[in-house]
Amino acid sequence: MTFFNLNARLEGDSHFVTDLTLCSVRLMKDANYPWLLLVPRKPDLVEIIDLEDADQQQLMREIAAASHVLREVTDCEKLNVGALGNQVSQLHVHVIARFRSDAAWPGPIWGAAPAEPYEDDRVDTLIENLRDAFSDRDS
């Protein structure tokens, strides 16, 4: 049997936020945009359709939860959701809070601007606020 392992690049580029039923939620190390990753904790997944049907449905519930949490915590103007995986094949879903003033608006964020480091206290507060909002939703 194979076990779930988080891709090293995804792990290095993001901070752990919380675990939902299916996915680990991580915050990308890029202060340009509040940017979450949902990574299903199952081995050998590349496409959404590699998930069993029930897990696809759970993934949608967790995309919705992450969307509500991001909007509540960041008061964003738009949400972007994407599963690309052209560079890191392990299945991961991006849920991104967008603002008309952000570094890539109105384009997609991928490859648009170099990652901007967070100040430590700012990222700690953001992660804490995200954890509180996820636990309030009990997803």
The binding site for a second copy (CB under 8 A) comprises 46-49, 53, 56-57, 59-61, 63-64, 67-68, 71, 78-87, 98, 105-108, 110-111
The structure tokens 């990753």 sit at 37
Residues 6+ apart with CB under 8 A from 14: 26, 27, 28, 29, 37
Q: At 1, which amino acid appears?
A: M
Shortest Å, Cβ 12 to a second copy: 18
Name the residue among 53, 66, 56, 54 with its Cα closest to residue 20.
Answer: 66
**Nearest approach, Cβ of residue 86 and a second copy (Å):** 4
Give the end-to-end CA distance of the chain in Å, rounded to a whole number: 28
Considering the complex, state which of residue 15 and residue 137 has its C-beta at the smaller distance from a second copy: 137
CB count, 10 Å around CB of 85?
A: 16
Least gap, CB of 36 to a second copy (angstroms): 14
For the record, the structure tokens of 33 come out as: 């945009």
Minimum distance from residue 54 beta carbon to a second copy (Å): 11
User: Which single residue is written with the structure tokens 């996915």?
Assistant: 23
